[in-house]
Structure formats: C-alpha cells, structure tokens
C-alpha cells in the first residue's frame, strides 16, 4: 500500500516521462502553503533548465495530464512553474480507510531485516550518571525502538563501565574505610584458592558492610584524593592491576560493586521506560585484549612509538590530522579505545551484528573514528558497519553542561523525583487527574514526567544542544510531551464515551478541511519513520506526532463527533481511533506512553 504522496509522485513521474522528460522530476512533497494546496511538485523548474523551455509551459502540460488522475481534485500552476495539487476526497477517504485497516497505520516493514546492536547509555559503576548518559539513554532507546519497529533484530547494550581505574579507587577506599573488609580482601587475595565457605562469607560481609550510599560517598572523595596524593593514586593503580589480573578478593568485591550499581540503575532506567537487552561490561572483554594486542602486532598494524603501542589511522585525504589510536599506553595499560576495539571483536563473536550503532556524545567522535578505522584495518568490521550517532549537550541556563544548583551532576534518581514533583504540580494546576485514586494518579504523574523529560530531548535534532527547563518541558501547552499525552487521553475518553453511546468505527468519508488536513498528516507517517531511521533522528517522529496532535485538536474543535449524523459520527470516530493508534505508535517509538485517563 503506497502513501498518497508517493502515489501522486508516481502519477507526476509518468506525466514527465510522457513529455520525454526525466521521471525523477515528478517528486511530490507536502505543500509549503497548506492554505493553497495539499501537495506540490517543483519538477517543471528543473525540467525547463535542461530542456531550455519555459517552466510555466511545462508545468501547464504536466498539470493537464495530472488533472485526469482520480487522485487529484484540482491542479494549478503557480508562480514561476510550481504545480499545486489538491487531493481528491475519494483518494483521501480511500487512504484513510486503508490506514485504519493497517495495524501499523501505513509504516513499512524492512524487506531484509538486519541484526542491529545499539550501544547506548554507557553508565559506569559508582561514578554518577551525568546528562551525557541521560541523552545517550533517551536517544539510544528511541533509535533501538525504531529499528525494532521496522523489523530489525535489535539488541540494546548498556556497555556498562565496570572496569578500569575507578574500580581500583573504590577498592582502596572501601578497604581503608572498613577494617573487616580490608582483612577479608587480604585473606582472599593471598589464599591460593579460596574455599566455597570463605567465598560465601566474604560475599555476605560485603553485602552487610558496603551499600550503594557508601559507593556514592566514597567514590568522589577517593577520586579527589588520587588527584592530590601520588601515594594514594599508586595504591589504587596497584589494586586495579591486581583486580585485572584476577586477585580473588578484588574480583569478589568488584562483583558486589557492579551488582549494587546495576540494580539501582536498572530500576531508574525502567522508570524512564529504558530497558537494555544486554548489560555487557567493559570487564567482559578483559581477556580478549591480550591476544588481540598480539594479533595486531603480528599483523604489523600496531607498533611501538615513544614507549606506547599505537595504530596509525590517519588517511591521506583527511581534512585534519587524526591522531593514532593508542592501544597500550607507555605505562603499560590498555586504553578506552582498546576496550572498544576488543568489544567490536566480542560482539562479532557473540552476536554477529550487521550494524552497530554507538549513541554517544558527539565530543567523542574522534575516538570512534579512530576505533572504527582500526577495526576496519584489522578486519574486525566492514566499512559502514560501525556507526557513531553523536549528540549535543543538555545545558543549564548558563549555557554550560547542566549541573545541579549545588554544582554537582544530576543523579538519575533525583531527575525522576524532580520531574515527578513538577508533573504532580502541573496536573493539579490544569485540574487533571482529580478523579484518579492515589495509585493511578502517581502512575499518571510518572508518565507525564517521563514524557516531559524525554520529549524535550527528542524534539530537537540530536546534534543540537538544548537548555534544561523542567518548568517549560512539563507544561500541558506548547510543544511538550505532556501536551501530546493530553491529546491522546482526550481521544481515549472520546472513544469511551462513543462506545457507551453506541457509536461504531467507520467507514471514513473525508469532507471537511480539518479532516483533509488530518488525513494528509496521517499519510505522512511512513516518511517520518523513514527519515528518523535513515538519519538516526527521532526528532522526525517527535515533529510528526506533535503536528498530528495539533491537527487532531483543530479537527476536534471544528467537527462535532458525538452529535453528528450517525454515518458522519462513525467516520469521525474511526478517524479519531486511527489518529490515536498512530500517535501511540509514534509515542512508543519515542519511548513514551499515554495514560488511559488524566
Ligand atoms: N562509559 C563511558 C562514559 O561514561 C561511555 C561509553 C560509551 N560507549 C562506548 N562504546 N565507548 O563516558
């Protein structure tokens, strides 16, 4: 089933072809002037240049041919040679009924699904989540849902930062803060092979002595101390190295840290509607690094340079010099890029993805360029198989990356709480949710809060930075998540009332201008999905659903539903139900959910 825009494009293409002109000139788009026309085709202008003819003349000939199409109610040549098209009511009605019959409301499925792995979120053990992680999670979740919707086999991986120096720091800090923990670590590390009971006792001790709040408190202090005291830093480095080479006590306490952090993160992510399929950690590739480095050396790709081991990734046609990827530092440690390179291998081995999308801050674009090029050189990935989807920052009113009033990073939990408090306030102000019982009210408030936070992030192209303004994001008016939920809820309540009144759904007969406008927008959904997917840009969906909500509001204001003639009522109810279905699909692609009532 093709959308109206494409069907009109086909008709225009045949018209150009019949005149001996390039059919590609028949591209039809939504009109820039919806007050004058539904669609437009600008091909005559380009045709005139190549055929050296008057563009208005060509446009008139095309218009004459298009005038005969059953899809077209009126066609007009405007300005220097634009062709303005008005779709016929029959065509609009037929299209609306076809969309209504389609559970996907017109969105295509991919002909050849791929396995797509999305690397997003990237939270770390103990280190606080910052706004970069928040954006990665929101955008990544939407990109994953888009691929899944199109039929791809998707895997979302949190790529958990559970390895490296921060682990040594935490171990050092915990040992220093608690002598029982210190003694247990020492006993386990020096035992040749700890026994089951010893292991169990240690696990129980860590669980009783070290809680999430301890990590939150100890980590920043330890990080600050390591900056100031060389001795402390060296101890933490030694602990890191011992952990990585397998010291039994350190492995056990590290597992405890990772478990605590992950449980808390999963809970907060779930509240935001973000669910990862995989929590592979950076630690999971630890054992791959040694053999990988040997192989890279053997292949002649990695070589010594000023004490470090590097891979040159610069190309002759680079506009600016891309530094080499450092595989092993001059101090002998594997680097961020080394882990990412080994992760390419790990994923290939475990999941054989056709495409890996990294949703990470655009300030890391050089890093990914280096890793991707190194992976291609080493034969770990094909060109185009690894893609970095970058994004700008979420800023405070000062224009710098958002910080709390105290100057710290905003914890995910605190963000959710802030959003919830604001949405409760806004619901009350708007006189909404009053009839809900307390539990349902809280569930609704959470949906509103999540919509406020996520929609504000997804409404702009991801590369654009934006200012965090919870007050504005949470409003029920304007281009906000709560506005969208509110419109969806209105449709739900209309449909409930109609069902009680004995109304039924369809068939749809499009007549009024507001109905036409709504159907033309509904028809544009496939284009929005296609744009969002091809650019990894969920804002195309956000824009679509916002315009749809506005068009519905205008339709509902202009066209009576329950008081209309039965055939008209049922047509409008079907149109409302179709709008709701498409809105809910689109909201789901953004990771939002409308409540039943408000
Ligand atoms: N954990 C990293 C950080 O906090 C982000 C990881 C992004 N993903 C990746 N494959 N490098 O900065």
Which CATH class for the 115-158+279-394 domain? Answer: alpha beta
pLDDT per position as a tens digit, 132-168 = 899 999 999 999 999 999 999 999 999 999 998 999 9
Residue 1 pLDDT class (50, 70, 90 cuts) = low
Tokens for 57, please give them: 């003349």
pLDDT, tens digit, 9 for 90 and up, residues 220-255: 999 999 999 999 999 999 999 999 889 999 999 999
Taking only the tens place, the pLDDT of each residue in 31-40 is 998 889 999 9
Out of 136, 139, 159, mutate this one to test ligand 1's pocket (max ligand atoms within 8 Å of CB): namely 159
Cα–Cα distance measured from residue 41 to residue 23, given in angstroms and rounded to the nearest whole number = 12
Give per-residue pLDDT as tens, 177-218.
999 999 999 999 998 889 999 999 999 999 999 999 999 899
Query: Cα–Cα distance between 582 and 130 in angstroms, integer?
Result: 33
Give the pLDDT confidence of 490-530 residue by residue, as tens digits.
999 999 999 999 899 989 999 999 999 999 999 999 999 99
Domain with CATH 1.10.730.10 in the chain: 413-589
> 125, 156, 161: which to mutate for ligand 1, most atoms within 8 A of CB?
161
DSSP at 81: T
Q: What is the pTM of this model?
A: 0.95
Residue 128 has pLDDT above 80, yes or no: no
> Which residues in the chain are classed under CATH 3.30.1360.70?
4-87
Distance 559 CA to ligand 1 centre (A): 51
Question: Helices 513-523 and 4-18 meet at what angle, rounded to 10?
Answer: 80
Q: How many CB atoms lie within 10 A of CB 187?
A: 15
Instruction: Give CATH 3.40.50.620 domain extents, the chain.
Output: 115-158+279-394
The topology under which CATH files domain 413-589 is Isoleucyl-tRNA Synthetase; Domain 1 (1.10.730)
- The pLDDT score that the predictor gives to residue 38 is 95
Q: Which residue has the tokens 């209504």?
A: 100
Which CATH entry fits the domain spanning 4-87: 3.30.565.10, 3.30.1360.70, 3.30.470.10, 2.60.120.1270? 3.30.1360.70
**CA-nearest residue, atom 8 of ligand 1:** 122
Identify the three-state secondary structure at position 67.
helix
Q: Contact at 8 Å (CB) between 159 and 122?
A: yes
Average pLDDT over residues 462-467: 95
360 CA: nearest ligand 1 atom: 7
């Amino acid at each position: 089933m093709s959308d109206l825009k494409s069907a009109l494009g086909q008709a225009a293409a045949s018209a150009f072809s019949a005149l001996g002109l390039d059919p590609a000139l028949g591209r039809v788009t939504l009109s820039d002037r919806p007050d004058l026309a539904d669609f437009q085709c600008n091909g005559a202008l380009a045709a005139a240049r190549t055929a050296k003819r008057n563009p208005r003349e060509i446009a008139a000939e095309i218009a004459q041919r298009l005038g005969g199409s059953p899809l077209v109610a009126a066609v007009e040549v405007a300005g220097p040679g634009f062709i303005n098209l008005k779709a016929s009511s029959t065509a609009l009605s037929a299209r609306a009924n076809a969309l209504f019959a389609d559970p996907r409301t017109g969105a295509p499925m991919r002909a050849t699904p791929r396995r797509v792995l999305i690397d997003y979120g990237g939270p770390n053990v103990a280190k606080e989540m910052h706004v970069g992680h928040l954006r990665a999670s929101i955008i990544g979740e939407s990109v994953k849902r888009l691929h899944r919707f199109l039929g791809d086999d998707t895997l979302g991986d949190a790529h958990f930062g559970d390895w490296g120096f921060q682990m040594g720091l935490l171990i050092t800090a915990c040992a220093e803060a608690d002598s029982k923990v210190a003694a247990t670590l020492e006993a386990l590390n020096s035992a040749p092979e700890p026994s089951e009971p010893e292991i169990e006792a240690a696990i129980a001790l860590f669980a009783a002595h070290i809680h999430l709040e301890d990590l939150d408190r100890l980590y920043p202090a330890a990080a600050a101390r390591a900056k100031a005291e060389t001795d402390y830093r060296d101890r933490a480095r030694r602990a890191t190295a011992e952990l990585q080479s397998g010291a039994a006590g350190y492995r056990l306490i590290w597992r405890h840290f990772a478990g605590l952090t992950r449980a808390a993160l999963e809970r907060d992510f779930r509240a935001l509607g973000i669910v990862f399929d995989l929590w592979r950690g950076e630690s999971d590739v630890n054992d791959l690094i040694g053999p990988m480095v040997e192989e890279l050396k053997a292949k002649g790709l990695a070589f010594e340079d000023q004490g470090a081991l590097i891979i040159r990734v610069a190309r002759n046609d680079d506009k600016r010099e891309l530094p080499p990827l450092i595989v092993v530092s001059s101090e002998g440690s594997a680097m961020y890029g080394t882990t990412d390179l080994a992760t390419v291998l790990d994923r290939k081995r475990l999941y054989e993805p056709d495409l890996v999308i990294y949703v990470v801050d655009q300030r890391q674009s050089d890093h990914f360029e280096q890793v991707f090029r190194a992976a291609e050189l080493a034969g770990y990935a094909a060109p185009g198989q690894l893609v970095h989807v970058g994004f700008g920052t979420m800023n405070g009113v000062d224009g710098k990356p958002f910080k709390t009033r105290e100057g710290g990073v905003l914890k995910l939990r605190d963000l959710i709480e802030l959003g919830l408090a604001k949405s409760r306030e806004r619901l009350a102000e708007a006189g909404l949710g009053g009839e809900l019982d307390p539990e349902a009210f809280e569930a609704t408030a959470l949906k509103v809060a999540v919509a406020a936070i996520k929609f504000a992030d997804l409404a702009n192209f991801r590369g654009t930075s934006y200012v965090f303004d919870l007050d504005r994001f949470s409003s029920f008016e304007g281009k906000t998540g709560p506005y969208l939920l509110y419109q969806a809820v209105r449709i739900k309540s209309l449909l409930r009332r109609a069902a009680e009144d004995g109304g039924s759904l369809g068939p749809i007969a499009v007549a009024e201008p507001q109905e036409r406008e709504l159907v033309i927008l509904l028809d544009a959904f496939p284009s929005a999905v296609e744009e969002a997917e091809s650019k990894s840009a969920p804002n195309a969906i956000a824009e679509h659903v916002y315009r749809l909500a506005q068009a519905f509001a205008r339709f509902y204001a202009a066209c009576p539903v329950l008081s209309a003639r039965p055939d008209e009522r049922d047509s409008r109810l079907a149109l409302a139900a179709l709008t709701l279905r498409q809105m809910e699909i689109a909201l789901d692609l953004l990771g939002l959910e409308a409540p039943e009532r408000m």
